[in-house]
Structure 1
Amino acid sequence: MFLGIDCGTQGTKALLLDAATGTVLGEGSASHELIRGPNGRREQATEQWIEAFEKATATALAQAGVKGAAVLGIGVSGQQHGLVTLDAEGRVLRPAKLWCDTESTAENQRLLDWLGGEAGSLRRLGVAVAPGYTVSKLLWMKEQHPALFERIAHVLLPHDYLNYWLTGRCCSEYGDASGTGYFDVRSRHWDVELLRHIDPSGHLTAALPELIEAHQPVGYLRPELARRLGLNSQALVASGGGDNMMGAIGTGNIAPGAITMSLGTSGTLYGYCAEPRINSQPSVATFCSSSGGWLPLICTMNLTNANGAIRELLQLDLDRFNALVAQAPIGAEGVTMLPFLNGERVPALPQASASLHGLTSENLTRANLCRAVLEGVTFGLRYGLDLLRDCGIHSERIRLIGGGAKNPLWRQIIADVMGAPVICTTHGEAAALGAAIQAAWCHARQDDPQASLEEICERCVSLDEETAVRPDTRAVAAYEQVYRRYRELVNSLYGQR
């Protein structure tokens, strides 16, 4: 039995997997809260992650009706890009700055200028650093909190920090490291010179964690923590990885021919490549995968958060929101929403704000507003899908995960906007499932170095045919016109084609 943990923005999920049969035995969850501040600040107290880990794990064990002593391995999935800094005693210096934090946008631009712009960043790192990446958060911390910056002994990502809490060892694996902005995705090494540009003393480079392969363990669960959590003291802690990398494993997206779309607070799209296909379009991040290859990926900053903002504004529950969306026609009678409430990453508009267009006295209805926000966030994903297709990433069906994937109406809209069939995986918590699968793989390789991740995925990952949706030909044609309107608006306001 293996425990998969997914520490996300809104909460932590735990999942217990019988890897021999592919059966999910139990699940649990616990919520987190955001610390919001001016200029796009989005932070979290790491203590919340620990508390949520314990609560979610206890719930999963209780639901499964099993003893924690049966857990052979643990895998941790974490929200990417977040900055966790520790002092020499292992104490957290300040709240973690998250992926959705845009407070360091100015610092990111200065770093981009030093790198030679997006083209220079792509040449050097294989990715174009964006405001959400970790590197600009370090420069921000140096300038805004210099005394704390001088005390940094360890620089970790969220999942790295949880692995440190579990084992006492600081390390990072290639997939999650890809999103720091100081890692070369081709050579799979830290870019030490870039960090010395931020801190010439070498202070930061000394704080970097050791890099390990995806199949390598971090170590064993600390005995005192095993007692506290009621888990096996010999449980092996796998390398884990970023939530997108674990989501890829949890949807079986570990070989060419699959595309995963995650509908969460943010929206992500990714597909597997055996080689690092670095795209000239900076919005495509060619991260390393946590299964041995690469994972070209796009991420939108606004998805269910934008839908939720309209629901809250109109005081609607989810059922009523969906009913209103269904009442409005494709294109919302000319109403278009650019849902950039948190700025945006795809298209690359970190300083953008949300806006409504095409309003008249006739079309200003609750139904059209609900339809416009759902269409607007979906168009951002379509923009990203077009970029992936340009990279040669294709799939017969798009695999949907995340909370939004449970919505049949949204699944049909996605199929129509993308012009492609979509289907959900049987287990929607793909990142937690992927973490558990990776833990099983890591454990198996201790006895058999040739143990196959593909075989474990075949047992543990399945598609739910009852959720399969095909695009409607007439709706696809209608959405092409509405999508063109969206793109023209983005171009006219921001010069983004």
Structure 2
Amino acid sequence: MDRYFIGIDVSTTASKALVIDEAGGVVASHSTPHDLQTPRPLWSEQDPDQWWSATCSSLRAVLTQVAAHDIAAIGLTGQMHGLTLLDAADRPLRPAILWNDGRSGAQCAAITAEVGAEWLYGHIGTMMLPGFTAPKIRWLREHEPDIYRQAAHVLLPKDYVRLCLTGAHVTDVADGSGFALMDIARRTWSDQMLAAFDIPRAWLPELCESPDVCAYVNAAGSVATGLRVGTPVVGGAGDQAAQAVGSGIIERGQTSITVGTSGVVFTATDQYHPEPAGRLHTFCHAVPGHWFHMGVMLSAAGGLRWFHDALAAGSSFEQLSVEAATVPPGAAGLIFVPYLTGERNPHPDPLARGALVGLTLRTTRAHMVRAVMEGVAFGLRDNVELLRAQGIQPKQAAISGGAARSHVWRQILTDSIGLPLYTVADTEGAAMGAALLAGVGAGNWPDVPAAARAVTQLVDEQAPTPSAVAVYERLYPMYQSLYPALRDSFHALHSFED
């Protein structure tokens, strides 16, 4: 009998169901979109029940192509950090507060002062940031006390889907790391952090390792989705750790760069060694006994999307890439500061903003497109430089996301960062990683590295061009100088935002 494995990806934009076979080949895939609400500046929210309804739609679609009784296991992945607050009956108390929500900056500063920055960085693997789950809980206690008093459970987005599917309150250690409530070195909830935030342990889900079976589809989940009652569900992982599994980023020093709406630099490690100033996230990996370093910029391909929608709506993204290729490296001295939605690493500042610096009468749209691409590349290089300062010297990196589809942007990235970049044959991202974790849980592969090696195929490597590298080595320090120079102005200008 054929066996199949499902990866469910509850991303910011859609719920996706991906089916793979025992060799890791894609059999079926379907996505159902989500809505996003931004009711106030810095706020970003979604309806948790829409995640579940979209997941049900996607599962029912793929189950028209494979039989439910042939599904051996399910893995979950999705957007990290989203605060999903439930009452005692497991009903959402309010819209979920997402990873890119910046309202809890004051709470981050307060908790850092209370417990001490150095201890905090070493314990949770990073500085406290507004995107994380814990400071949002404190924000709710201070600003929505009536809702806070009704709270009984806190889950992450993919784990709310797990709850609806199985009835279990569970998260994995990779996604759970983003709560900012774990002792990352020990891969457990932290009594000290729970005490600091005054959060009851009973609110939190149980922790498991990513490939471990932690729940089973129940009768209600079966009726809603068409899955077989009793189908095993593994822990899964947050989107970045799951994508790393799908891209083969599992051994120390292996590195990936993702240029989606946000940008991520990710490297695997077999030791817990956080960046001393907390400027990288050092979290549990989906590979048991391993961790990862991750740097995040909040607006990467989102920067080019903004430019397209605001200034070039009549052109395709392919046309914009063609225009960028007509401009030499350095964009004639035009630099794009890419902080359109604030920034996380290395400048944890929700009030940071974007800028085009160096405009002249000779500046054309082509110059601006190239400058946007280069500014995003420099933002990602900031995080690569933090890795290098940690003693991690990547020799190459896998690239994925929107930029991976543009030869021009890939070349800008490899020249700006100074690393050969390659793509992998699989383009299913985090959903593939979740499906592979399901396969490990079902015994199809002996462990996560074996699963990743079975499906990862490197293709299409691009190497740095020495002449372009030389230009960017001159330009990058100028880019680095802009955030310190503009920070106070960014903060003052915030008062003019609606």
Query: Which SS does the other structure have where 1:321 is aligned?
Result: helix
- The residue number in structure 2 matching 1:435 is 434
Give the root-mean-square deviation of aligned CA atoms: 1.7
- The residue number in structure 2 matching 1:310 is 307
Q: Supply the distance in 2 between the matched residues of 1:61 and 1:410 (Cα, whole angstroms).
A: 37
The one-letter code sitting in structure 2 at the alignment partner of 1:113 is A
8 A contact 1:163–1:218 mirrored in 2:
no
Q: Supply the distance in 2 between the matched residues of 1:124 and 1:26 (Cα, whole angstroms).
A: 41
Q: Does 1:479 align with 2:472?
A: yes
Which residue of the other structure, out of 20, 36, 57, is the alignment partner of 1:17?
20
**Percent of aligned pairs with the same amino acid:** 33
- The residue number in structure 1 matching 2:90 is 90
Shift of 1:55: 2.5
- The residue number in structure 1 matching 2:254 is 258
- Mean Cα displacement is larger for which, 432-441 or 315-324? 315-324
Query: Which SS does the other structure have where 2:89 is aligned?
Result: coil
Query: Which SS does the other structure have where 1:5 is aligned?
Result: strand
Shift of 1:429: 2.0
- Mean Cα displacement is larger for which, 391-400 or 427-436? 391-400
- The residue number in structure 1 matching 2:233 is 237
Q: Supply the distance in 1 between the matched residues of 2:292 and 2:404 (Cα, whole angstroms).
A: 21
Q: Does 1:384 align with 2:383?
A: yes
8 A contact 2:181–2:193 mirrored in 1:
yes
Alignment of 1:165-314 (within 5 A): 165-199=164-198, 204-292=200-288, 293-314=290-311
Q: Supply the distance in 2 between the matched residues of 1:188 and 1:210 (Cα, whole angstroms).
A: 12
Q: Does 1:420 align with 2:419?
A: yes
The one-letter code sitting in structure 1 at the alignment partner of 2:149 is E
- The residue number in structure 1 matching 2:352 is 352
The one-letter code sitting in structure 2 at the alignment partner of 1:287 is F
The one-letter code sitting in structure 1 at the alignment partner of 2:328 is P
Q: Supply the distance in 2 between the matched residues of 1:107 and 1:234 (Cα, whole angstroms).
A: 42
8 A contact 1:22–1:461 mirrored in 2:
no
Cα distance change on mapping 1:257 and 1:124 into 2, 3 Å: closer
8 A contact 1:69–1:230 mirrored in 2:
no
The one-letter code sitting in structure 1 at the alignment partner of 2:461 is A
Q: Supply the distance in 1 between the matched residues of 2:67 and 2:401 (Cα, whole angstroms).
A: 29
Q: Supply the distance in 2 between the matched residues of 1:490 and 1:85 (Cα, whole angstroms).
A: 35
8 A contact 1:196–1:205 mirrored in 2:
no
The one-letter code sitting in structure 2 at the alignment partner of 1:262 is T
8 A contact 2:334–2:368 mirrored in 1:
yes
Q: Supply the distance in 2 between the matched residues of 1:427 and 1:60 (Cα, whole angstroms).
A: 19
Q: Supply the distance in 1 between the matched residues of 2:128 and 2:107 (Cα, whole angstroms).
A: 11
Shift of 1:236: 0.7
8 A contact 1:16–1:61 mirrored in 2:
no
Q: Does 1:393 align with 2:395?
A: no
TM-score of the superposition, structure 1-length normalised?
Answer: 0.93
Which string of whole-angstrom CA distances, capped at 9 and with x for unpartnered residues, describes residues 226-249 of structure 1? 233222323210001110111111
TM-score of the superposition, structure 2-length normalised?
Answer: 0.93
Q: Supply the distance in 2 between the matched residues of 1:213 and 1:362 (Cα, whole angstroms).
A: 56
- The residue number in structure 1 matching 2:495 is none
Cα distance change on mapping 1:404 and 1:47 into 2, 3 Å: farther
- Mean Cα displacement is larger for which, 120-129 or 335-344? 120-129
Q: Supply the distance in 2 between the matched residues of 1:340 and 1:24 (Cα, whole angstroms).
A: 36
The one-letter code sitting in structure 2 at the alignment partner of 1:475 is A
- The residue number in structure 1 matching 2:67 is 67
Alignment of 1:406-417 (within 5 A): 406-417=405-416
Q: Does 1:451 align with 2:454?
A: no
> Matched residue pairs, number?
481
Query: Which SS does the other structure have where 1:272 is aligned?
Result: strand
The one-letter code sitting in structure 2 at the alignment partner of 1:311 is H
Q: Supply the distance in 1 between the matched residues of 2:410 and 2:62 (Cα, whole angstroms).
A: 29
Which residue of the other structure, out of 463, 473, 494, is the alignment partner of 1:470?
463
Which string of whole-angstrom CA distances, capped at 9 and with x for unpartnered residues, describes residues 231-272 of structure 1? 232321000111011111111111123101111111111111
- The residue number in structure 2 matching 1:79 is 79
Q: Does 1:57 align with 2:74?
A: no
Q: Supply the distance in 2 between the matched residues of 1:127 and 1:114 (Cα, whole angstroms).
A: 16
The one-letter code sitting in structure 2 at the alignment partner of 1:221 is V
The one-letter code sitting in structure 2 at the alignment partner of 1:217 is V
Shift of 1:146: 0.6
Shift of 1:177: 1.2
Which string of whole-angstrom CA distances, capped at 9 and with x for unpartnered residues, describes residues 153-203 of structure 1? 11111122121111101012211111111111112222233333333xx5x
Query: Which SS does the other structure have where 1:132 is aligned?
Result: coil
8 A contact 1:72–1:234 mirrored in 2:
no
Q: Supply the distance in 2 between the matched residues of 1:68 and 1:261 (Cα, whole angstroms).
A: 35
Q: Supply the distance in 2 between the matched residues of 1:458 and 1:120 (Cα, whole angstroms).
A: 37
The one-letter code sitting in structure 1 at the alignment partner of 2:448 is L
- The residue number in structure 2 matching 1:327 is 326
- The residue number in structure 2 matching 1:34 is 36
Q: Supply the distance in 2 between the matched residues of 1:11 and 1:393 (Cα, whole angstroms).
A: 34
- The residue number in structure 2 matching 1:336 is 335
Which string of whole-angstrom CA distances, capped at 9 and with x for unpartnered residues, describes residues 37-85 of structure 1? 22300011112211221232334344xx322321111101011111001
The one-letter code sitting in structure 1 at the alignment partner of 2:451 is I
The one-letter code sitting in structure 2 at the alignment partner of 1:455 is A
Query: Which SS does the other structure have where 1:37 is aligned?
Result: coil
Shift of 1:11: 1.6
- The residue number in structure 2 matching 1:4 is 7
Query: Which SS does the other structure have where 2:38 is aligned?
Result: strand
The one-letter code sitting in structure 2 at the alignment partner of 1:172 is T
Q: Supply the distance in 1 between the matched residues of 2:402 and 2:325 (Cα, whole angstroms).
A: 19
- The residue number in structure 1 matching 2:455 is 460
Which sections of structure 2, spanning at least 5 residues, go unmatched? 489-498
Shift of 1:145: 1.1
Q: Supply the distance in 1 between the matched residues of 2:79 and 2:109 (Cα, whole angstroms).
A: 23
